[in-house]
Amino acid sequence: MTEGATTVAVRPTEGAARSLLAFRGVEMVFPNGVHAVDTVDMDIAPGEFVSLVGPSGCGKSTLLRIASGLARPTAGEVVLNTGHIAYVFQDPTLLPWRTVRQNVELCNQLKKLPKAERAEKARQAIEMVGLAGFENRHPNQLSGGMRMRASLARALTLEPEVFLFDEPFGAIDEITRERLNSELLRIFRTRAFAGVFVTHSIAEAVFLSTRVAVMSARPGRIIGEFDVPFPYPREPELRSTPEFAALTGEIGRCLRSGAQ
Amino acid sequence: MTSIIATMAPAEPVTFARQARMRGYVTMGGPPLIVFALFVAVWYLISYGLLSERRRFLLPPPHDVVSVGFLDWHNFAEILAGLGSTAAISLAGFAIAGTIGFTLAVVMSQSVAMERSFYPYAVALQTLPVLAMTPLVGLWFGFDTFSRILICSILALFPIITNTLFGLKSVEPSQRDLFDLMKAGRWTRLWRLEIPAALPNILTGLRISGGLSVIGAIVADFFFRQGDPGIGRLLDIYRASLETERLYAAIICSSLLGLALFLTNTLISRHVLRNWHASAHSKSS
Ligand SMILES: Nc1ncnc2c1ncn2[C@@H]1O[C@H](COP(=O)(O)OP(=O)(O)OP(=O)(O)O)[C@@H](O)[C@H]1O
Ligand SMILES: [Mg+2]
């Protein structure tokens, strides 16, 4: 559980060599004619954390929905080499009539896991996101950041190998957001999932990821991929280094070039 | 009582809390009390100032209504019995409307075909002048309890259907996505997501229907005159015999019945929704 993210073995899969999640010529045209995504090809290997940045409306959420199976692409396919996938939505999507604990248990309850087992998984996940002591609160008694943590904990109980995040910290203030970034990295290193993380913040993307993919304006295509060379564990001070600034600058230029 | 409290907690916070609470009651109860006093004053003014003694029976002064209608045990017992009968009818009608309305709404929420087939009739039911139906209902089902309950439930049915259906169908899309992702079946989805999410709307529907069921029961009292008399029948009897003190007492009692039902429903809603987000509260009120 505690070894480095890149050294975790993933159960062998047939076909696609080492990628857990692969987009193969994925294209999405909505019934109303909106061409949201245009031939996206991308591989996400175990231990990778890929951020997706792109102008608003370029099809990032659509891509995640396709990856999770919530939407079907009009062309191409998604190859998913695991049954353990979790999805953190842009809003926390907690059920207001359930306590934090009950919300975190929801996914495994829907999977009909035995009570004791799902309680234990929930306890661990709540601990991991730092919500211990708040188990019996209802969502309306939590701050926005705590709600997001609860949502994260709920996804963690699925013990995902592929973890999709759709701008989870978009509505959270800068300081809380940076703290949540650090905590997400800590979880990423202990749980070693493959992550796809949508964000509008280039700094957040670079800080978290092993790779940043830049999308063009609609119809969304991947117009640039940047490897992030900084080793883990990453400290918040990384954000103020010249190397960090250089990389974010480069990604920003790429983003602007594709924004028209 | 106070000594027990004093031994359990420092005296000062308790008195502060109590003072604050008293102040709360006064600010909350003050304005309505002033209005009530004004109301009684105007009532006296009309009784004694506007009406001659011969016509005073149109609005007997409050103390006559109280002494004849409430303090005379024989009269008051009759009103109470009528009130009890009406309350029982409206409760039965409310329960039936609640069960049928909820079931229909769930069925309609599960299938577009069902909704398309039934919803127009639910709307038609609401526009149906129930009063116009009463003679027929009486001919078909007799002029006693059964018909009273039937009219009452028809009147109370619609708000439950519409509010419940609206609640079941307005579950947030992202919450639906979550259940989709977990491949939840229809029943799980209904039980774990849609019904709880619709709870504020269901309670709103029940509150409206509760009021309507009281109205329905009183109206039905006028039409179906067999069996033990409800408050509606008493109202008619007092009117016919010009016993206006008792008439006013009966009117006051029937509005208290409606009020009691409304308050009960409000308290239940508050309790059920106490942990919900503020938006859920406003959604329900
Ligand atoms: N169900 C749908 N039907 C029709 N058009 C849709 C649908 N869902 C999304 N779209 C359109 O597809 C495009 C891509 O949407 P998507 O939500 O994927 O963008 P996004 O990159 O996530 O944007 P943002 O950064 O603002 O969240 C948008 O123009 C949107 O209006
Ligand atoms: Mg989006």
Q: Which chain B residue lies closest to A142 (C-alpha atoms)?
A: B277
Q: β-pairing, A162-166 with A21-29?
A: unpaired
* A–B interface: beta-carbon pairs under 8 A: 51
Task: Give the distance from residue B180's alpha carbon to the nearest chain A alpha carbon, in angstroms.
Answer: 7
Q: What is the residue-wise DSSP string for A203-236?
A: HHHHHH-SEEEEEPSSSB-EEEEEE--PPSSPPG
Helix axes A115-128, A144-156, angle to 10 degrees: 130
What is the distance, to the nearest Å, from the Cα of residue B129 to the centroid of all Cα atoms in its chain?
A: 20
Residues of B in contact with A141 (CB under 8 A): 275
The answer to whether residue A230 sits within a structural domain is no
* Number of domains forming the structure of chain A: 1
Residues of B in contact with A65 (CB under 8 A): 177
Give the phi and the psi of residue B197 in degrees, each rounded to 5.
-65, -30
Q: Give me the domain span that covers residue A125.
A: 96-159
In the structure encoding, which two tokens stand for residue B256, read together?
């208290």
The answer to whether residue A77 sits within a structural domain is no
Tens of pLDDT, residue by residue over A180-230, are: 899 899 888 888 889 999 999 999 999 999 999 999 998 889 999 999 999
Q: Measured in Å, how far apart are chain A's first and last C-alpha atoms? A: 44
CB within 8 A of A29, min separation 6: which ones? A35, A36, A74
List b or e across B60-76, with b for residues whose CB sees 16 or more CB atoms inside 10 angstroms: bbbebbeebbbeeeebb
CB contact at 8 A, B284 and B273: yes
The C-alpha atoms of residue A139 and residue A137 are separated, in whole angstroms, by 7
Question: What pLDDT score was predicted for residue B10?
Answer: 42
CB contact at 8 A, B162 and B119: no
Residue whose CA is closest, atom 6 of ligand 1?
A30
Q: Which chain A residue lies closest to B194 (C-alpha atoms)?
A: A95
In the structure encoding, which two tokens stand for residue A222, read together?
């991947």
The answer to whether residue A27 sits within a structural domain is no
Q: What is the ipTM of this complex?
A: 0.86
Say if B282 is an interface residue toward chain A (CB within 8 Å): no
The answer to whether residue A54 sits within a structural domain is no
pTM score of the predicted model: 0.81
The C-alpha atoms of residue B23 and residue B16 are separated, in whole angstroms, by 10
Q: What is the residue-wise DSSP string for A39-97?
A: EEEEEE-TT-EEEEE--TTSSHHHHHHHHHTSS--SEEEEEE--S-EEEE-SS----TT
Task: Give the distance from residue B79's alpha carbon to the nearest chain A alpha carbon, in angstroms.
Answer: 43
Handedness of CA B184, B187, B188, B193 (dihedral sign): positive
Hey, how many other C-beta atoms are within 10 angstroms of the C-beta on B30?
Answer: 10
Residue whose CA is closest, atom 8 of ligand 1?
A62
Tens of pLDDT, residue by residue over A60-78, are: 999 999 999 999 999 999 9
Q: DSSP class of residue A140?
A: G
The answer to whether residue A31 sits within a structural domain is no
The answer to whether residue A149 sits within a structural domain is yes
Query: pLDDT tens digits for chain B (285 residues)?
Result: 334 433 344 444 455 666 766 676 667 778 888 998 999 899 888 888 888 878 888 888 888 888 887 888 888 888 888 899 999 999 999 999 999 999 999 999 998 898 888 888 888 877 878 778 888 888 998 888 898 899 999 999 999 999 999 999 999 999 999 999 999 999 999 999 999 999 999 999 999 999 999 999 998 888 887 778 888 888 888 888 888 888 889 999 998 988 888 889 889 988 888 877 544 444 333
The C-alpha atoms of residue A47 and residue A6 are separated, in whole angstroms, by 5
CB within 8 A of B116, min separation 6: which ones? none
The label of the residue with tokens 């509010």 reads: B163
Residues of B in contact with A97 (CB under 8 A): 196-197, 199, 275-276
The answer to whether residue A83 sits within a structural domain is no
The label of the residue with tokens 């209005």 reads: B35
The C-alpha atoms of residue B86 and residue B149 are separated, in whole angstroms, by 10
* 3-state class (DSSP) for residue A24: strand
Amino acid at A150: A
The label of the residue with tokens 């031939």 reads: A39
Amino acid at B69: G
The C-alpha atoms of residue A89 and residue A86 are separated, in whole angstroms, by 10
The answer to whether residue A41 sits within a structural domain is no
**Mean pLDDT across the stretch A27-46?**
92
